[in-house]
Amino acid sequence: MVQGYVNLNTERNKEWLQEYVDNWVTFFKKQTDTGKVADYIPKLEDADPNALGITIIGKHGTQIRSGDLDIPFSIQSISKVLSFIVACMDRGLTYVLHRVDVEPTGEAFNSIMHLEINNPKRPFNPMVNSGAITISSLLNGKTSDQKLEPIFALLEKMIGYRPELDVEVYESERDTSMRNRAIGYYLLEEGYLESDLGVTLETYFKQCSINITTDDLARIGLVLSNDGFHPDTGEVIIPRNVTRIAKSLMLTCGMYDASGKFAAYVGIPAKSGVSGGILAVVPPRVRDNDLPFLDGCGIGVFGPALDKQGNSIAGIKLLRHIANSWDMSLF
Ligand code: GLU
């Protein structure tokens, strides 16, 4: 009863919501100049630094889309959420969490330092590179393509089509990523890798190079908001206990070393990537009936100009502004 009323409310205000988001996209787009596109993976430098786009999709299909849309970009670190989910579904939660912890690091995503100081030297969490590379090694299969297959299959179920690999981005990272190789060797020495190092890194670089759009991210967010249930197909595609941990990891470790601030000031699970994407999950909440998307929604943002932590500089501000205005915080 209440849900029906809330949904009608969002529908009734759709035009107003669209105009509201359009205005704020225009406002924050001006701030893209203050950030910088990632260049440590050379191919990422081709992105338009002034692009900014957002898609919001609600449980009953309401969509707000604004700004620079339909620009495919590589998923980068956002893939860490998917590989973690797939590893847990294939290998079991306990097995996976025995090899990768769930503690925030407060350090850069590609730091090696925390591996050195931790005892046992287990990666802190699956959202930093050491944890994600370990997770890539746990995926079933002997070749990188076999390991990636369930990630593609999960994505296809979530977004309705099979996304493509950006081969140029993949080769660009493969040929330059000395730090990830160093992390890989470190993990190999400590006994955390379950697959050949070359195959593991190939899998990791490829999963980061899958092309997606803001619409795709919003659909992924919507499925996570619904605890793994896809509202369009009526299928449970991820077990609830796995989505619960994935969302906790996004909340505590998803926004690089700005995760604490994002949790405090925005309060929703989110994961960003160095190509400028942000996946955000707004769970259903009990609030004033005038608020939009009370049934929960998924949000996808794209803005390649990054801040010092590696988050989309305008994207994070846009997301924060909308989430605060519409009281989307978990708390
Ligand atoms: N492929 C990137 C790397 O490992 C992902 C980084 C990110 O998006 O945070 O450096």
Say how far apart CA 303 and CA 312 lie, in whole Å.
Answer: 5
Cα 117 to ligand 1 centroid, rounded to whole Å? 22
Cα 131 to ligand 1 centroid, rounded to whole Å? 12
166 C-beta closer than 6 A to ligand 1: no
What does pTM read for this prediction? 0.95
Paired with 278 in beta bridges are 272, 301
Per-residue pLDDT 10s for the chain (331 aa) are: 334 434 546 777 889 999 999 999 999 999 999 999 999 999 999 999 999 999 999 999 999 999 999 899 999 999 999 999 999 999 999 999 999 999 998 888 888 887 887 767 789 999 999 999 999 999 999 999 999 999 999 999 999 999 999 999 999 999 999 999 999 999 999 999 999 999 999 999 999 999 999 999 999 999 999 999 999 999 999 999 999 999 999 999 999 999 999 999 999 999 999 999 999 999 999 887 788 999 999 999 999 999 999 999 999 999 999 999 999 999 9
Give the number of other Cβ atoms within 10 Å of residue 29's Cβ: 18
Residue ranges of E strands in the chain = 36-37, 53-58, 63-67, 73-74, 211-212, 229-230, 235-236, 270-272, 277-282, 297-302, 305-306
For residue 179, give both structure tokens: 């730090």
134 C-beta closer than 6 A to ligand 1: no
Pick the closest to residue 318 from 71, 58, 115, 25 (CA basis): 25
With vertex at residue 128, the alpha carbon angle to CA 312 and CA 95, rounded to the nearest 5 degrees, is 140
Give the number of other Cβ atoms within 10 Å of residue 89's Cβ: 17
